[in-house]
């Protein structure tokens, strides 16, 4: 198989692992797209063509997925991607204010990437954690109860690269009881 889009060996082997899990190759399309996008940040035309060849499909079969699903991208987000939930339960707890704070602090309009490519902001639909809204996802971690005011401090820590070490904001994922107690 050619590797014209320069994927890492790790991604290539994950793709080789995931495709045979399905009775039909086409079913693996979303999972392969995710793996490519996770590494490259987006799925451009060359990547569509490569994925199509890998799954014995036409490029349009991949392109039509990229252009339909909200989380699939033709152009990459910023190096740090912030998602804020817009839907009613979070809005009832102030998520419009949260989004505004991030726009101001990160210097980027929602739906866009900052000029230096560092941050991007997405005001998106329900993230299924409505009980603790407003919900914010940074890359792959979910933070709860981030209203407009809290978001100021949150954004400062994010910009300083100190969010992970801060005790003020523990992600939903990090608050799970860890596997050591089995």
Partner 1 sequence: MSVSTPKERRIILKHADDPNYSNRIGCYLREGGYGNLKKAFSMQPEEVGEEVLKSGVRGRGGAGFPAGMKWKFLDRKSGKPIYLICNADESEPGTFKDRQIMYKDPHQLIEGMMITAFAIGAKQAFIYIRAEFHEGARILERAISEAKKAGFCGNKILDSEYSCDLVVHRGAGAYICGEETGLIESLEGKRPNPRIKPPYFPAVLGLYQCPTIVNNVETLCNVRHIIEMGGEEFSKIGKPNNTGTRIWCVSGQVMKPGYYEFECGSLTLGQLIFDICGGLRPGRSLKAVIPGGSSAKVLRADERFSGTLKDGTEFDWGLEDIPLDFDGPMAAGSMSGSGGIIVMDDTVDIVEAMANVNAFYAHESCGQCTPCREGSLWMRKISQRMCSGGAREEDADLLLSVAKQIEGRTICAFGEAAAWPTQSFVTKFKDDFIRKATDSPKERDPKSLQLI
Q: Which is nearer to partner 1, 119 or 123 (CB)?
A: 123
Contact 147, 97 (CB under 8 A): yes
Residue 23: which residues within 8 A CB-CB, separation 6 or more?
A: none
- Least Å distance, CB 116 to partner 1, is 25
Contact 83, 91 (CB under 8 A): no
Q: Which is nearer to partner 1, 30 or 46 (CB)?
A: 30
- Least Å distance, CB 180 to partner 1, is 7
Q: Which is nearer to partner 1, 127 or 146 (CB)?
A: 127
Q: Which is nearer to partner 1, 42 or 91 (CB)?
A: 91
- Least Å distance, CB 155 to partner 1, is 19
> What's the gap between Cα 123 and its chain centre?
12
Query: What distance in Å separates the CA atoms of residue 143 and residue 73, rounded to the nearest whole number?
Result: 23
Q: Which is nearer to partner 1, 116 or 139 (CB)?
A: 139
List contacts with partner 1 (CB under 8 A): 21-24, 26-31, 33-34, 55, 57, 61, 64-65, 68-72, 83, 86-89, 91-94, 96-97, 124-133, 137, 140-141, 172-173, 176-182
- Least Å distance, CB 74 to partner 1, is 13
- Least Å distance, CB 179 to partner 1, is 4
Contact 42, 74 (CB under 8 A): yes
């Amino acid at each position: 198989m050619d590797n014209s889009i320069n994927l890492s060996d790790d991604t290539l082997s994950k793709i080789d692992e995931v495709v045979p899990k399905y009775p039909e190759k086409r079913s693996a399309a979303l999972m392969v797209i995710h793996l490519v996008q996770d590494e490259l940040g987006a799925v451009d035309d060359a990547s569509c063509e490569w994925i199509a060849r890998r799954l014995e499909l036409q490029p349009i079969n991949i392109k039509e997925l990229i252009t339909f699903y909200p989380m699939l991208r033709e152009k990459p987000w910023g190096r740090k991607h912030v998602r804020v939930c817009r839907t009613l339960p979070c809005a009832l707890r102030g998520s419009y204010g949260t989004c505004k704070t991030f726009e101001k602090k990160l210097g980027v309009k929602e739906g866009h990437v900052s000029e230096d490519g560092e941050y991007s902001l997405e005001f998106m639909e329900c993230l299924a954690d409505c009980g603790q809204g407003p919900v914010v996802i940074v890359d792959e971690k979910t933070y709860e109860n981030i209203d407009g005011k809290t978001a100021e401090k949150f954004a400062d820590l994010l910009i300083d690269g100190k969010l992970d070490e801060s005790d003020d904001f523990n992600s939903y994922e990090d608050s799970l009881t860890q596997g050591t107690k089995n």
